[in-house]
Chains A and B, each alone.
Chain A
Amino acid sequence: MENYIEIARKTLLDPADVSDRELDQLLGKMIGKSIDYADVYFQYSRSENWSLEEGIVKSGAYSVDKGVGLRAVSGEKTGFAFSDDLSLGALTHAAQSARGIAQGIGSKKSGLLGKGSTQVPVRYSGDNPLQSLDENAKISLLGRVEQEARKQDPRVKEVMVNLAGEHNVIMIVGHDGTICADVRPLIRLNVTVVAEQNGRRERGSFGGGSRQSYEFFQQDERALNYAREAVRQALTNLESVDGPAGTMTVVLGPGWPGILLHEAIGHGLEGDFNRKGTSAFSGRIGEKVASDLCTIVDDGTIENRRGSLSVDDEGTQSQNTVLIENGILKGYMQDLTNARLMGQSPTGNGRRQSFAHLPMPRMTNTYMLSGESEHDEIIESVDNGLYAVQFGGGQVDITSGNFVFSATEAYKIENGKVTQPVKGATLIGNGPDVLTRVSMVGNNLELDSGIGTCGKDGQLVPVGVGQPTLRLDEITVGGVVV
């Protein structure tokens, strides 16, 4: 990580001619009697996006974004300003705006900088993924994925492939002079197909991603498998019939259906909502909120995962936090401000979309641990219900606890057997209630393929989810057959 601080200095501070002495003075301006906490967040981000449709790579885009966000916290008050100009004049102006939240003027304190730096294990390589393949190789990868999709079946009419990569250098300077840096890669490849049969069209979509180089997509035919999976979904949906409406037993497949956990309990366990008492889970630590079979964690430490972080955006080391253990609510996910105000420890969940946004408690990789049941045994236990394996997005109202997640591939279960595919439908439940209805948990934990993006207060961050196969005894399914 020491190495990352040098990279960050060279990338962020040196081009703007900001010296350590000037940074030190800037910190002095931000702290003062009534300021509990202040930080400066520098970011330099390079990203690219290539898209293929109708058999050709039609567009490519490259972006460079750099800037700095300055924050001053006084009690429950936060002042924030950002600038895409890293010059000392702009920094000083932004510092004054940010600390305007508190009365009084900044101190003349100096000698703050360099009092320490955070040493933590790194969870991914800092190499720039954009340079891990040359442009011709990227184009060729997109083309191979497209051909793989087309050769699966003549009913495939449209294939769209998108490749995106990002390389983020960040540096966080705390008011106590600690410096922390991280260098984060992020890659994503997605395939969407439209298949047609007798005038009926259906879509299938699949993809994956990671925090590493683009070679990830070439290992084990990974990207080609995305294409095969997208086609399989589209062809399955061509056979789908109208689905049932009402409350029923639902079996969720392993992996991405873990979006259930993200919506049903994840957001409700973020520290800010619980400090303010606005979550349906507020004040319920130690209570039973799920069946004994459920143990759920938020784990930012898994190597190379999309939701993982070496340090969060406040410089706290990422960790594995137990949220629910054998059905009992154990803990919340915290950033620095909410942890301090609640008298708890930060959990490495302080995240922000960019320098232009304030950090807040956010999830990393949220998943349920494996249970005892065999997948087949869970299916066989259901007389009449729904088996849902692929999902679009989800959403939650954390105050009432009501949440939804929308299936894009689902089947009827009849007499213990998976039968007819049904059209996509939204499932709706209540967070504090739904996991008490988990009656079987599979022994087959899977994490998603690296595709999650979570939105909160308009800020997007990459996340992961996962779970084994689950049986929910009762949840409402939004089909059309009443």
Chain B
Amino acid sequence: MQARSIIQDSGSANPELANAVVYALEFAKRMGTSGAVAGVSRTSGYDLTVRMGELETIEHQNGGGLGITVFMGLRKGSSSTSDFDRQAIEDTVRAAASIAKFTAEDSCNGLPPKDRLVNETADLELDLPWQIDRDQALEIALSCEEAALSSDSRIVNSEGASIGTSIQDSAFGNSDGLLVAGRKSRHSIVCSVIGQTESGMQTDYWFSASRDPGALDSPQSIGAMAARRTLRRLDARKIKTCSVPVLFEAPTAGSLLKNFVGAISGGALYRKASFLLDSLGQQIFPEKTRIHEQPHLKRSIGSAVCDDEGVATETCDIVTDGVLQKYLLSSYSARKLGLETTGNAGGTFNLTIDPGDRDFDEMVKLMNKGLLVTHTMGFGINQVTGDYSQGASGFWVENGEIQFPVEEVTIAGNLRDMFRSLVEVGKDVDYRTGVRTGSILLSNMAVAGE
């Protein structure tokens, strides 16, 4: 076995998990495989939920899994287990090797190029435990829900407030000597309440999530926001079918970027199942648009030193001046397309669209007349054609101001046209997930209503 040095991406590596990976790789070699990849993770923590001022559930998590892929020449097989003991590891490696006898040879199979593997430890500060006991967590959840319930007499019911805190230990390695291990924390506070008027009930929620407990919003502000967002939806109505500008509120706008990511991902491209085939170097967005990745931001949900194959992540542009600069590839999809891996096995890392200089209110003013979309629903997105048709709710905007809440309408178009019709990105950026965007204004979509 080659000497291995553990590369840490954050926090302290768990030696038990790293040992499991090393053992799996060693056993795979003993089984006569020509290459192997192994990963182990274990999550521990709890979710505590209160509802209507009372503790409702405490769910303790303590579980994980080990996954291995082995190569027999150009064939591969995979297997996974929830168990880490030596017997289970050996059984799992044997199962993967057995599968590799039946799969076909695929010349694109194999490990990523060695010179692209992550080789430096970086402390991204992703392991920041939340030092609270159960009673404190209960207090936080109760105060969060109370802030929502007490804010307005129309808030009549609740789906509860939850505190979640977890630590994920992981280790990952391959038979080229890679071993990466680390620990990441994730903490969240979420609140969801129900408002009612004579016309019916509406619900909405708000959450704060971070690797850093110190960066969470105050429980009271989360509860108050959940109540505000619920109240503003009350007495929503349909509008007439029309063709108008559409403003996606920041928390919903991220879905447009995810549709873009799906279409430029290697798996969709080599299967010819994307509406953005052969679009490298093409103008996809208006000239002022820049979309980039920031994998090494400290304390961020979307940060990592390497992708799911151990390829070092890089800070880079995906779209510059509206032109597509790179696809998002793993080593496999790169070989399929005759390109090099981009370090995007498993997705993107803090994908960011550069904001403009308008805040949310100014974005509404800029739209002047149209539909502000705060929620989308459904599965009406066709990645092969780009055809887009989703359920929506939000607000009707006229004279640059919000007029009334809207529900039970659809918005439709084609993503290719929608990307080109991007007018402006707001500076009201939502930092809670690995996709960072402000509100996004599109010049025109079909809105179906009455």
Chain A interface residues toward B at CB < 8 A: 53, 56-67, 76-84, 94, 97-98, 100-101, 135-136, 138-139, 157-158, 160, 194, 196, 201-203, 245-247, 276-278, 280, 356, 358, 392-395, 397, 399-406, 408, 423-430, 476-482
Contact = CB atoms under 8 A, between A and B. Distances in A.
Interface of B: 51, 54-65, 76-83, 88, 91-92, 95-96, 98-106, 134, 157, 159, 194, 200-203, 233, 236, 238, 241-243, 271-273, 375, 377-380, 382, 384-385, 387, 389-391, 393, 407-414, 446-450
A100 B137 CA distance: 14
Given A98-B60, A404-B380, A426-B377, 6 more contacts: A57-B104, A201-B385, A247-B241, A276-B51, A426-B410, A426-B412
Contact of A245 (B77, B81, B236, B412): B412
A97 B380 contact: no
Contacts of B101: 135
Given A101-B55, A202-B384, A276-B51, A428 B91 contact: no
Contacts of A397: 203, 375, 377
Contacts, number: 257
Contacts of B194: 278, 399
Given A59-B78, A94-B60, A194 B391 contact: no
A479 B412 contact: yes
Contacts of B202: 399-400
B389 to A, nearest CB: 4
Given A158-B273, A404-B391, A426-B410, A58 B56 contact: no
Contacts of A406: 378-380, 389
Contacts of B83: 64, 66, 84
B137 to A, nearest CB: 12
A63 B105 CA distance: 22
Contact of B54 (A76, A100, A400): A76
A232 to B, nearest CB: 16
Contacts of A65: 65, 81-82
Contact of A402 (B61, B96, B377): B377
Contacts of A100: 58, 134
B59 A358 contact: yes
Given A406-B378, A478-B411, A424 B63 contact: no
A429 B390 contact: no
A83 B375 CA distance: 36
Nearest to B271: A158
B95 A62 contact: yes
Contacts of B203: 278, 397, 399-400
Contact of B82 (A53, A84, A194, A424): A84
A61 B57 contact: no
A424 B407 contact: no
Contact of B62 (A82, A245, A277): A82
Contacts of B55: 77, 101
